[in-house]
Chains A and B, each alone.
Chain A
C-alpha cells in the first residue's frame, strides 16, 4: 500500500522525481501529454450539445 501511495505521489508531482536516463525523462514528457489528454478530453463534459452531429 505504501509503495502504491508513493508511486501515485511521484507520478502526481507530490514527490521529487529520481529519473536518471534521458529515456526516463522522455517517458515523463509522454506522461505529461497523457495527463493533458485526459483533462482535455473531459473538460467539456458538462457542455450541453443540442445538435449532436459529430
Chain B
C-alpha cells in the first residue's frame, strides 16, 4: 500500500504541496505533472513491475500527445477511446481472455490458443485508462473544449488519485486546478482526512481482514454456517474500510493542494435499496459506468427489457473491471440482476416499496450486497461452496 509509506509523504506529497503553492500559478500544472510522473516511475518501479513497470509512464506521454489531436466530433477521439481500451485489455485482460477462450473451446470445439502469462500490471491502469476514455469521449461530444497540454497532463498525472481513484472528470478538475490556492481550513481538513484514512485502513480494515482471511484459508470447510456468514460480512466491512480509506487519503491529499476531489463513498451500507447503494458506493466508478457504458447502450430509453439488458451488461463490465476472473463477472452480474429486480419491485409494487421501514430496507440491502461479496473475495468454487453452506445451514 503506497499511502502508508513514509516515501509517499516525505518525497511526494509534502514537497509537491510546497512547490505547488510556492511557484507561480502558471507553473502549477507542470509541478503536478512532474511530481505525478516521478510518483508513477518511483512506485511503479518498486511495486508494479520494476524497470518495465516504471517505463509505462510513457503511456501517459503517448496519451498526452494523442490528446492534442482531439476535437469535438473528430475520429481521433474515437481512436483515443479504442487505444485506451486496448491498453487496458492488453495489460489486464489478455491472459484471462486467452484462458476463457480455451475454456469455451473445450465445449464449443474452438481451436485452442497458446496460454500466456499475464503482462505486468502498470500502477493504476484501471483508473487512468478510464480517465483517458472519459476525456476522449467528452471531447468528442463537445463537452470539453480545447485544453492546454499542461492542464491535461496535471489531470492524468495527479498522483493522489492515481493509485485507487476517485476517477476524476476534467470538467470538475480543470477549473479547480486553475482556482487552487492554499486554504488553511481545507488543509486542516486534509490532514484530518488523511489520518482518518490511515486509521480506517490499519485499525478497522485490517481487523476485519483477520476474520475474512478464513474465506481463502485452509479451514473454510471446518467453519460453521454462522462463522462463514460472519466471515463474509467481515469481508464486506474490510473492503469498505479499505477502499474508502484510499479515497480518504486521496481526497485529503487533494485538499492540501486546495483541490476538492469529489467524494467516492457516502455511507453506502446505509442505503435503502440497491439503486441507492450504487449512488453511494465507489461513486466515481458507478457514474463513469453510467455515462460511458449504460447511457451509450441506450440507458433506460429503449423499454424495460432493453433497460434490464443494459443494466446487467453495464454491471458485468463493472465486475470485470475489478478483476480479470470469472468470479468478478458473476459479482457484477449479481448486482446487475439486483438493480433490475429493484426496478421491477418499485414499478410493480410501489406501495410496498414505499411502505417498507427504513431499517428493514437497509438490512435487506446490506445482506444482498454482502452475499455478492462472496464472489468478489473468493474464486467461483469456494464462493459457491460457502454460499451453499449458508443456504443449507449445514
Nearest CB in chain B: distance from A44 CB, A: 9
B66 interfacial by beta-carbon distance below 8 Å: no
Given the complex, which residues of B lie within 8 Å of A22, measured CB to CB?
A: none
Report how far A36 CA is from B185 CA in the complex, Å: 20
A5 interfacial by beta-carbon distance below 8 Å: yes
Given the complex, which residues of B lie within 8 Å of A13, measured CB to CB?
A: 189-196, 248, 252, 255
A23 interfacial by beta-carbon distance below 8 Å: no
Q: With A12-B196, A32-B195, A43-B4 as given contacts, are A38 and B190 in contact (CB-CB < 8 Å)?
A: no
Is there an interface contact between B189 and A35, defined as CB atoms closer than 8 Å? Answer: no
Given the complex, which residues of B lie within 8 Å of A28, measured CB to CB?
A: 188, 192
Is there an interface contact between B189 and A39, defined as CB atoms closer than 8 Å? Answer: no
The chain B residue with its CB closest to the CB of A44 is B202
Is there an interface contact between A16 and B198, defined as CB atoms closer than 8 Å? Answer: no
Is there an interface contact between A35 and B196, defined as CB atoms closer than 8 Å? Answer: yes
Report how far A6 CA is from B42 CA in the complex, Å: 38
Q: With A17-B185, A39-B199 as given contacts, are A46 and B193 in contact (CB-CB < 8 Å)?
A: no
Is there an interface contact between B195 and A39, defined as CB atoms closer than 8 Å? Answer: yes
A11 interfacial by beta-carbon distance below 8 Å: yes
A48 interfacial by beta-carbon distance below 8 Å: no
Chain B 46-66: CB-based contact to A (< 8 A → 1; otherwise 0)? 000000000000000000000
Is there an interface contact between B192 and A38, defined as CB atoms closer than 8 Å? Answer: no
Contact of A38 among B203, B248, B263 (CB under 8 A): B203
Report how far A31 CA is from B192 CA in the complex, Å: 9
Given the complex, which residues of A lie within 8 Å of B199, measured CB to CB?
A: 35, 38-39
Is there an interface contact between B202 and A14, defined as CB atoms closer than 8 Å? Answer: no
Is there an interface contact between A45 and B206, defined as CB atoms closer than 8 Å? Answer: yes
Is there an interface contact between B202 and A42, defined as CB atoms closer than 8 Å? Answer: yes
Report how far A17 CA is from B191 CA in the complex, Å: 12
Given the complex, which residues of B lie within 8 Å of A45, measured CB to CB?
A: 202, 206
Chain A 15-54: CB-based contact to B (< 8 A → 1; otherwise 0)? 1110000000000100110011011001101100000000
B267 interfacial by beta-carbon distance below 8 Å: yes
Is there an interface contact between B195 and A35, defined as CB atoms closer than 8 Å? Answer: yes
Nearest CB in chain A: distance from B270 CB, A: 8
B182-238 with Cβ < 8 A to chain A? 185-186, 188-196, 198-199, 201-203, 206
Q: With A17-B185, A28-B188, A39-B199 as given contacts, are A12 and B206 in contact (CB-CB < 8 Å)?
A: no
Given the complex, which residues of B lie within 8 Å of A15, measured CB to CB?
A: 189
Given the complex, which residues of A lie within 8 Å of B189, measured CB to CB?
A: 13-17
Contact of A16 among B4, B185, B203 (CB under 8 A): B185
The chain B residue with its CB closest to the CB of A35 is B195
Beyond contacts A13-B196, A32-B195, A35-B199: 12 other A-B pairs, Cβ-Cβ < 8 A, are A5-B267, A12-B193, A13-B193, A13-B255, A16-B186, A16-B189, A17-B189, A36-B195, A39-B4, A39-B201, A39-B202, A46-B206
A: residues with CB less than 8 A from B are 5, 11-17, 28, 31-32, 35-36, 38-39, 42-43, 45-46
